[in-house]
Copies of this chain bind each other. A is one copy, B any other.
Amino acid sequence: MIGAEVVVRSLHGCGVDLCLANPGTSEMHFLSALGAAPGLRPVLVLQENVATGAADGYARIAGRPAATLLHLGPGLANGLSNLHNAARALSPVVNIVGDHATGHRRLDAPLTSDIRALAETVSVSTRCVMPGRGAGAETAAAVADSLGPVPGVATLLLPADAAWSEDESAPGLPQRGPAVTTDINPAGLVEALRRPGAVLLLGHGALRGAGLEAAGRVARATGAALVAQTTNPVVDRGAGRVTVERLPFAPDAARARLAGAPVIVLAGARAPVAFFAYPGKPGRLTAPGTTIIEYFAPECDAVAPLEALAEACGADGDTARNPAVLPGRPVGALDAAKLGALLARHLPEGTILVDEAMTNGVPIAAATAGAAPHRWCQNMGGSIGSGAPLATGCALAEPAAPVVSIIGDGSAMYTIQALWTQSREGLNVKTIILANRAYRILQAEVAKLDPARRTNAMDEMLRIDAPEMDFVAMAQGMGVPGIRVADCDGLDRALGRAFAEPGPALIEVTL
């Protein structure tokens, strides 16, 4: 058996069933082995950041890693920013990068670069399969690395000669390291959470299923506020779900929200810091006098510690839940709140909502809080261009669920190529492009500058209105049917049609 076959069999044996690929010459033997493997589905993408972002989305919904297949250093480079996002989401990804044959590297052929240096910036581990020995064990170790103790991107370099050479090693077997747990006794937190203004800050798994339920009981029993960190990989929300505030993205607002908290208990969340620094303002969003206690880390399973905390609190009643209240049917020209209202009214139960709505995200989130129960996926690393790839991966993980991908027009253009894969695979992704024809989030930043520093040329650089992009045409060019809407009636009809049948669709919303 050649090395490529050992790698593929090991991946499959370790539970990997999807490979998001953009291969090149050095990956031909791997592609051959992949094509011959039952149970390991290859999915082609046109640009690597679609592969890596889709692997992130797949991991969030499936709870297990997909493999990527990238071509040498430049292919890895093209996928790095969504690997950055995946790493921040703690999404397991087995990131397979083809390399030149080991003996070819020293010739410094045109595509040669320092792949390891690139990989290490985003990876929990960077391994290399060497020709003729141990492809099975190395692959199994990479899968295990991706899963923990801290889940993330495990890069596996596969030199072409390691792929094509005979390798007698047995396919690797699944391994699992020790899980991360907490050594904080929950009984010690109860008094802190009972202090007026106390915050239980939830992140990652604490916003899902039984963990979120337990957090709700803790809040009810102690009076602590339940606050979600600004972004999270998946949040269970909608009607009947435990009510959770979201910490604002805007640093002044976030600081104001947390200013009065005597104590913040971190449950799967990180101590909140501003996305960006501003002159004369602190980077931490918490007041100097606030006590911060990390109960458990983001990578820790959230259910056991939150249930233990609920028990320590003597919590046995119910908790505050989102009422099943849909907004009224809006009319007239569209804005984000009206869009959110219409979306809430149409949203099928079980939808996966991918949010790269940027400045429009807050009103849309508010409007959909009481919609049918759904999952909410956010950008974790702040690198925009994650929305369309994430949605692609979510749909691959759960083909039966509708996926709604809400993306700002500026953001959408980083990875618009994802639409083609959505069409090719018939994925049930409904893309909503928020076409305000500007980098609105940067316009908001400009507004914070000293007015003397604003110039027309600067304003011009934050507008993307000339030429006006036509996302319906672009979608059509990649096989996705689209429609442009400018008012509530139009969006109402478009959403009705989009959810009425499976498969990809795009709605460009003029805002």
Contacts and interface: CB of A to CB of B under 8 A. Distances in A.
Interface of A: 21, 23-26, 28-29, 31-32, 34-36, 42, 44, 46-47, 49, 73-75, 77-78, 80-81, 84-85, 88, 100-101, 103-104, 107-111, 113-114, 117-118, 120-122, 160-161, 164, 231, 273-277, 279, 283-284, 380-383, 385, 410, 413-414, 416-417, 420, 423-424, 441-442, 445-446, 449, 453-461, 464, 466-474, 476-479
B446 A35 contact: no
Contacts of A442: 23-25, 28
B120 A277 contact: no
Given A101-B277, A471-B477, 7 more contacts: A25-B276, A36-B455, A73-B121, A108-B273, A110-B381, A469-B479, A472-B477
A413 B417 contact: yes
Contacts of A279: 161, 164
Copies of this chain assembled into the complex: 2
Given A283-B104, A413-B417, A455-B35, A74 B383 contact: yes
A24 B381 CA distance: 14
Contacts of A122: 113
Given A416-B417, A442-B24, A467-B420, A29 B283 contact: no
B276 A23 contact: no
Nearest to A466: B424
Given A416-B417, A473-B473, A111 B275 contact: yes
Interface centre among A81, A161, A478 (most CB of B within 10 A): A81
Contact of A474 (B100, B457, B474): B474
Interface centre among A73, A274, A284 (most CB of B within 10 A): A73
Given A35-B461, A442-B24, A277 B455 contact: no
A457 B40 CA distance: 11
Contacts of A74: 80-81, 84-85, 381-383
A121 B8 CA distance: 29
A461 B382 contact: no
Contact of A46 (B28, B121, B464): B464
Given A277-B100, A461-B42, A473-B477, A111 B161 contact: no
Given A121-B118, A417-B416, A283 B461 contact: no
